[in-house]
Amino acid sequence: MNQFSLANKVVVVTGAAGLLGKNHVKAIADAGGVPVLIDIDRSRLQLVVEEFKKTHNTEYMHFVVDITDENQVKNCCENVVKKLVRIDGLVNNAANNPKIESNGVNEQSRLENFSIESWREDISVGLTGAFLCTKYFGAAIAKQGGSIVNISSDLGLIAPDQRLYEKIGLSPDNQPVKPVTYSVVKTGLIGLSRYTATYWAKQGVRCNSLCPGGVENSQDPSFVAKLTSLIPLGRMAKQNEYHGSLVFLLSDASSYITGTELIADGGRTAW
């Protein structure tokens, strides 16, 4: 038996239309699993589904869901179980990750200017959404056992180096920064993983956090140069380089691993 196989395992992926999300879906399908794609963006999700169908001849489901809405999450879970009978895995991937830009005046990403509305929105998607998905999909997994993977970040372990986002010509008070909510959400997911891992351990549910580093996506060359200087491997991750890590955590290959973090950051947090 291939320990890394996800053959016939039903795995729900939130934020499935995003950069990492669509790669998580591919990884699950390539390992023999049945991916369930969830995203709030109907048009982007449809594009991902069309692309997926061109490359994979496998069973799947997809749903447009606002994971901050409890009734939508509950109904989605019921529909998945009704069609596929069981749920074996969950990847809590959905999160807000706003572009870091600056107009040079009253920079809104800075802590002093960060709006309560932005705080609530980011926390609602990144933490409340993960909680609701764990509540319903996790409970379904607990009926027979399985694995939950929360997608955290290297920035769930260390603070952002705000020097990476500095713009020439702007005053210190107007420099853009990585918003506070990103760190809070990614650190909070690690806590959720540890809680869930111990809460459902007797039901055979494992829960871990995957902490990826930055992914190549046509970023500004000056940003890439600054970031890669902080990474021992000297580069950002390729878009498919987390496939193995995710499949490992979802599969029986990690059967004695729970409540911890798998760090895949090119060594950044080791320095």
Query: pLDDT tens for residues 58-69?
Result: 999 999 999 999
pLDDT band with cut points at 50, 70 and 90 for residue 102: low
- Per-residue pLDDT, 42: 98
- Per-residue pLDDT, 106: 64
- Per-residue pLDDT, 62: 98
Could you give the angle at which helices 116-123 and 180-199 cross, rounded to 10 degrees?
30
Question: For residues 262 and 18, is the Cβ–Cβ distance under 8 A?
Answer: no
- Per-residue pLDDT, 104: 59
Across residues 183-212, what is the average pLDDT?
A: 99
Across residues 171-178, what is the average pLDDT?
A: 92
Residue with tokens 């929360």: 150
- Per-residue pLDDT, 100: 74
**Counts of helices then strands in the chain (DSSP H, E):** 9, 7
Q: What is the pLDDT of residues 142-159, one digit of tens each?
A: 999 999 999 999 999 999
Residue 1 has pLDDT above 60, yes or no: no
Token pair for 103: 């107009």
Token pair for 174: 């107007």
Single-letter amino acid code for the residue at 112: E
Single-letter amino acid code for the residue at 120: R
- Per-residue pLDDT, 155: 98
Residues 6+ apart with CB under 8 A from 218: none
Q: Residue 224 CB: number of other CB atoms within 10 A?
A: 17
Among 106-115, 216-225, 246-255, which is the least confidently predicted range?
106-115
- Per-residue pLDDT, 27: 98
* Average pLDDT of the chain to the nearest whole number: 96
- Per-residue pLDDT, 229: 98
pLDDT band with cut points at 50, 70 and 90 for residue 109: very high
- Per-residue pLDDT, 98: 72
* Domains along the sequence of the chain with CATH: 10-270 (3.40.50.720)
Across residues 50-74, what is the average pLDDT?
A: 97
Percent of the chain with pLDDT over 90: 94
3-state SS class at 82: helix
Across residues 11-20, what is the average pLDDT?
A: 98
Give CA–CA dist 188/105, Å, rounded.
31
Residue 219 has pLDDT above 60, yes or no: yes
Token pair for 260: 């911890």
Across residues 241-266, what is the average pLDDT?
A: 98
Q: What is the pTM of this model?
A: 0.95
Across residues 2-14, what is the average pLDDT?
A: 97
Token pair for 69: 């809405």
pLDDT band with cut points at 50, 70 and 90 for residue 97: confident
